[in-house]
Amino acid sequence: MKLRIGLAVIISLLLIGLICPLVSADEDNGSVDLSTTGLLTISDVSASSIGYYGTTISWKTNGDATSQVFYDTISHDNVTDYAHQTIESLSLVLAHSVSLTGLASSTTYHYRVRSEIPGTEFISISEDHTFTTLTPSPGGGGGGGGEPSYTITTDLFGGQGTNPISSTGEVLRTIQGTSSDGNLGVTIPKGTVAKEKDGTRLKSLAINAYENPPEPPAGANIIGLTYNFGPNGATFAPPMTLTWKYDPATLGDVTEESLVLAYYDEAAGKWVELQCVVDTVNHTITARVAHFTVFAIIGTVPPPPPPAPAEFAVSGLVVSPGEVYTGESVSIEVLVVNTGGESGSYEVAFKINGAAVIEAREVTLSPGSSQKVGLTMSRDVPGTYNVDVNGLIGSFTVKEKPEEVVPPGFNWPLVGGLIAAAVVVGLGVFFLIRRRRA
- pLDDT given for residue 36 in this prediction: 53
Checking if the pLDDT of 138 tops 60, the result is no
User: What CA–CA distance (Å, rounded) separates 85 from 101?
Assistant: 11
- pLDDT given for residue 291 in this prediction: 86
Checking if the pLDDT of 16 tops 80, the result is no
Is the pLDDT higher at 391 or at 434?
A: 391
- pLDDT given for residue 407 in this prediction: 62
Q: Is 342 helix (H, G, I), strand (E, B) or coil?
A: coil
Checking if the pLDDT of 2 tops 50, the result is no
Checking if the pLDDT of 57 tops 80, the result is yes
> Taking the CB of residue 298, how many other CB atoms lie within 10 A of it?
20
Shortest CA distance to 191 belongs to which of 173, 167, 177, 205? Answer: 173
Average pLDDT, the chain: 83
Shortest CA distance to 40 belongs to which of 68, 19, 61, 69? Answer: 61
pLDDT band for 383, please (50, 70, 90 cuts).
very high
- pLDDT given for residue 289 in this prediction: 87
User: What CA–CA distance (Å, rounded) separates 248 from 245?
Assistant: 10
Shortest CA distance to 44 belongs to which of 96, 80, 8, 93? Answer: 96
- pLDDT given for residue 388 in this prediction: 95
Checking if the pLDDT of 312 tops 90, the result is yes
C-beta separation of 290 from 236 below 8 A: yes
Q: Which residues contact 257 (CB under 8 A, 6 or more apart)?
A: 278, 280
For the entire predicted model, the pTM comes to 0.44
- pLDDT given for residue 41 in this prediction: 94
Domains of the chain: 34-132 (2.60.40.10), 150-300 (2.60.220.50), 312-399 (2.60.40.10)
Q: Which residues contact 334 (CB under 8 A, 6 or more apart)?
A: 314, 315, 316, 317, 318, 348, 372, 373, 374, 389, 390, 392
314-346 pLDDT, tens digit per residue, is 999 999 999 999 999 999 999 999 999 899 999
158-191 pLDDT, tens digit per residue, is 888 888 888 888 888 888 888 888 888 888 888 8
- pLDDT given for residue 23 in this prediction: 32
> Taking the CB of residue 347, how many other CB atoms lie within 10 A of it?
13
